[in-house]
Structure 1
């Protein structure tokens, strides 16, 4: 058996993204809290996830879902106390569940004491914690707001009367950017990281990583080494915890992404926005080509890992797709303008996008979990929750978790008017129809299937650590790929269309090799010439394990002796038939 290094635990992890305030309310005030999350750790343990990613839970005016932080060393009183957080961490550790938290240090709230001090005294050291100018610079298309249509006149400089100066912000005006070129600011960030690492967190999701490495002052030139700020975060993280991971929100051009891994000295994981858009496009068009193109656009990830997802808390960003493909995705998954946001995104949950068709939902998650990288699941997607488009902006996909068909979906005993957000009620995706309790009792439910999927992925080290290749199949709606690792292989085949398809391709099988299914129920037949024939139903899928024995193992070992274990990261390589 090959041992697993603690420092690479994330390669075979399954991450569950959860918003504490929307998950479970323990005290009946209408807001989810850490005690409520602790109560649901057994549910998450049974689901099989190995790590949680928590949205910001710090004290905040809460004008941007907690991303406007006013104190980096505490817990928002609505969500509990620091003691509640410590108890939660102890209980998560007891179940072997790691916790990753958001590190929101590109900006603060305008209510943070640092900004208050910067406003009050131009000679205070805190003045240089932010970016100020006396005259508002002209608009710069390279430094536009990240929320087009939501920020007045699209500018990123706001006048502050108390300071008699303009301050810089790429997000909302109430989120002034920190001056990360200031060594004192970086020292503050290192102290924040040390504090939470010593409380047991396994790492950080670095919010707005792409903006952190860009020059902020209008007179500043491009830094000689813009990534040093991210590398310094890694150095300080591993100094406190050797297996700490950094997950970057790096929504950058594909050609720039490899630099975020920094030859192993920077980010461990990157949120895979490129593959996300192309995977959704493949589901929308029911063609494999967009998925293959998305994989081809990714640079190698030899020293890190991609974090793959279908949905997250924000909009589903398809802005990097070609315009004609964007139009196809919008037409299929967001035909009404109210379903769209920022001109680039979709503000819907996955299950409604797929018309509640469980075959398509399972196909989508099977594809996601079989992609090269670490899969991430948004809370509630394991039961097929829907969205509430009557809510503004991105809050449409942040409604409370649906535990039962009872009042408030079992999320809270508070009155409906006191809930942090309304629960989804009525219709195909209302909590009366879609909830954990009902699906737990149904052996064929999406929830119970997701448990099997998660277990299968965690058992399949080939996907997390093996060499990846695309298998050439003569069918536009089918996608097949394989991973080779330690002499064995996992082969995954998916049919993106609503019609059956039959495929035959060479797997280089020899007598004595074992081939058996891990997931899915497609018909498969092996032939004496080493090939395999697979027949997939509508939206069908299958994962197969190829176990080398005897002559096959010997030949494979000899062929691999001069190869790297992961030669091209996620780059697609074709295998001829």
Structure 2
């Protein structure tokens, strides 16, 4: 089971630059992160996903990489990284890092060499055209920011392909030399102890859009090459793909269990928010039924929010509008036509019962749960910040100035801390909540502990359970033992009836309150408004 550790991991995502500043320059760093490992271990985190920490001009939050083999000097040194890895390993915490190889920074030495000399070996590391073809507007990743996927470079005398910002030229994945370099990058970080990679923009690695010589089958084969390389270097390392694609395309990333180990569950995430907006369990049931069956070694990564916008593009326009009206009614809360740039607590109007319901639901869905930094304390967003930065504010550690993130002057911070209102650091922070036994962070620690005890949710076969209440979503995950979970999506209390085998009984494991023990003769299960209950199903 060691190689399947990811199936029951508790994953926590963070950006080093906004987590903890150790030297007072206003920027988080690896020494600061290392000091915070006890906090992460204490709440039960078993795997960290680090956003890009490589040298970068930061046009796109570090996703425009200048050097794949180093650490951004603002964040520390390679030595600091190695010490962080050692301390994480001492606490039983694995680390996966972002692998950003769809594109580089325009300032990367490869691109600089490519634009200066068309005979350079690096020229073919990128995709060029003197007369670029027409493109579909839907290929723009940042509509209303960029108006083309081709940018003219006067020094090169040609256009280069970029699906993201024009400062991020696409790599030519059909070039064997580029593939070889990608494997070297993975090999480098595996030698430093990482347990795998989150593959950024995975669909663009295998679609070959704009690459004349691209062969779709050959590009998809590169995912198998990556898997084979990673497994040969470290048998328990994983590949996690960011691929927000239709259900019929998902198999291209999992293969027969020989490509990606994990995928973000974008589809189920969108159905979950539609179900929350409508308060109808059938929506979530439809989402689960829409997902393809996975090879046994593969896994979904479930989440409430991550570092980008909450994408709704797999929903119809009418469905998107329902979610917008429920959780992002103002235009300033939306981004890129199909996205929401908010954190969960403000979306739920700060209602603790609803916040708990959503995280209980996400943690119990079949797959592995992901938390974004700050979710354990209920951080909010800053809509005055541009674009995606609204949900990328510094971690709030205490009620000290700058939320304990840094002792630098406020105007020197890498990003402003939320300092006012209901979600200001004076009210929402780790230190204050740790002293309160009824706080969200203590509830979250209990949720994580319960999830670790219910490993059937990560490895078991699942089925939807029918109920007589349309607002209640019920499902069961079964391995050697069965876990049954109920969630009431409505703002009214109810009682539900489940059809169970006569020799089975339900024993409470976790819930929104202390319920009376079930009377197995009645078959009726009470739930509060926005209530949730987790059970073990045992023989009588």
TM-score normalised by the shorter chain: which range applies? over 0.9
Q: Counterpart in 2 of 1:459?
A: 453
Q: Counterpart in 2 of 1:212?
A: 205
Matches within 5 A, 1:389-400: 389-400=383-394
Cα deviation, residue 219, structure 1:
3.4
Which aligned runs of 4 or more in structure 1 are off by greater than 4 angstroms? 524-529
Question: Is the 1:246–1:269 contact (alpha carbons within 8 Å) kept by the matching residues of 2?
Answer: yes
Question: Is the 1:179–1:216 contact (alpha carbons within 8 Å) kept by the matching residues of 2?
Answer: no
- 1:342 pairs, out of 322, 325, 336, with 336
Matches within 5 A, 1:538-557: 538-548=529-539
2:159 is the alignment partner of 1:159: no
Compare 71-80 and 286-295 and name the one that shifted more: 286-295
Q: Counterpart in 1 of 2:170?
A: 177
Q: Counterpart in 2 of 1:111?
A: 107
Cα deviation, residue 160, structure 1:
0.5
Matches within 5 A, 1:131-280: 131-141=127-137, 144-151=139-146, 154-217=147-210, 219-220=212-213, 222-280=215-273
Q: Distance in 2 between matches of 1:499 and 1:34?
A: 46
Cα deviation, residue 521, structure 1:
3.0
TM-score of the aligned structures, taking structure 1 as reference length: 0.91
Q: Counterpart in 1 of 2:463?
A: 469
Question: Is the 1:456–1:519 contact (alpha carbons within 8 Å) kept by the matching residues of 2?
Answer: no
- Label 1:441 to 1:215 Cα distance change in 2 as closer, same or farther (>3 A): same
Q: Report the secondary structure of 2:374's partner residue.
A: coil
Q: Distance in 2 between matches of 1:220 and 1:140?
A: 20
2:21 is the alignment partner of 1:25: yes
Q: Deviations along 1:286-324, whole A, 9 cap, x unmatched?
A: 221221111111111233100000100000001111222
Cα deviation, residue 525, structure 1:
5.4
Q: Counterpart in 2 of 1:326?
A: 320
Question: Is the 1:522–1:540 contact (alpha carbons within 8 Å) kept by the matching residues of 2?
Answer: no
Q: Counterpart in 1 of 2:433?
A: 439
Q: Distance in 1 between matches of 2:49 and 2:246?
A: 25
Question: Is the 1:60–1:109 contact (alpha carbons within 8 Å) kept by the matching residues of 2?
Answer: yes
Q: Distance in 1 between matches of 2:295 and 2:492?
A: 37
Q: Distance in 2 between matches of 1:429 and 1:527?
A: 42
Q: Deviations along 1:420-457, whole A, 9 cap, x unmatched?
A: 00000111111111111110000010000000101111
Number of matched residues? 539
2:122 is the alignment partner of 1:126: yes
Cα deviation, residue 484, structure 1:
1.2
Question: Is the 1:524–1:535 contact (alpha carbons within 8 Å) kept by the matching residues of 2?
Answer: no
Which residues of structure 1 form unaligned runs of 5+?
A: 553-577
Question: Is the 1:131–1:216 contact (alpha carbons within 8 Å) kept by the matching residues of 2?
Answer: no
Q: Counterpart in 2 of 1:518?
A: 510
Q: Distance in 2 between matches of 1:243 and 1:210?
A: 24
- 2:42 pairs, out of 43, 46, 56, with 46
2:368 is the alignment partner of 1:374: yes
Question: Is the 2:497–2:525 contact (alpha carbons within 8 Å) kept by the matching residues of 1?
Answer: yes
Question: Is the 1:524–1:532 contact (alpha carbons within 8 Å) kept by the matching residues of 2?
Answer: no
Q: Distance in 1 between matches of 2:456 and 2:511?
A: 15
Question: Is the 2:174–2:214 contact (alpha carbons within 8 Å) kept by the matching residues of 1?
Answer: no
Q: Distance in 1 between matches of 2:214 and 2:184?
A: 28
2:394 is the alignment partner of 1:403: no
Cα deviation, residue 213, structure 1:
0.2
- 1:101 pairs, out of 94, 97, 104, with 97
Q: Distance in 2 between matches of 1:125 and 1:30?
A: 40
- Label 1:231 to 1:41 Cα distance change in 2 as closer, same or farther (>3 A): same
Q: Distance in 1 between matches of 2:502 and 2:13?
A: 40
Q: Report the secondary structure of 1:302's partner residue.
A: coil
Q: Distance in 2 between matches of 1:211 and 1:514?
A: 46
Q: Counterpart in 1 of 2:303?
A: 309
2:67 is the alignment partner of 1:71: yes
Q: Distance in 2 between matches of 1:48 and 1:280?
A: 26
Question: Is the 2:511–2:531 contact (alpha carbons within 8 Å) kept by the matching residues of 1?
Answer: no
Q: Deviations along 1:159-194, whole A, 9 cap, x unmatched?
A: 101110110010011000000110000110111000
2:408 is the alignment partner of 1:427: no
Q: Distance in 1 between matches of 2:27 and 2:271?
A: 35
Q: Deviations along 1:457-486, whole A, 9 cap, x unmatched?
A: 111111111110111011111111111111
Which residues of structure 2 form unaligned runs of 5+?
A: none
Q: Distance in 2 between matches of 1:33 and 1:233?
A: 29
Compare 425-434 and 365-374 and name the one that shifted more: 425-434
Q: Distance in 2 between matches of 1:218 and 1:409?
A: 47
Q: Report the secondary structure of 2:287's partner residue.
A: helix
TM-score of the aligned structures, taking structure 2 as reference length: 0.97
- Label 1:296 to 1:91 Cα distance change in 2 as closer, same or farther (>3 A): same
Q: Deviations along 1:33-60, whole A, 9 cap, x unmatched?
A: 0000000000000010110000000000
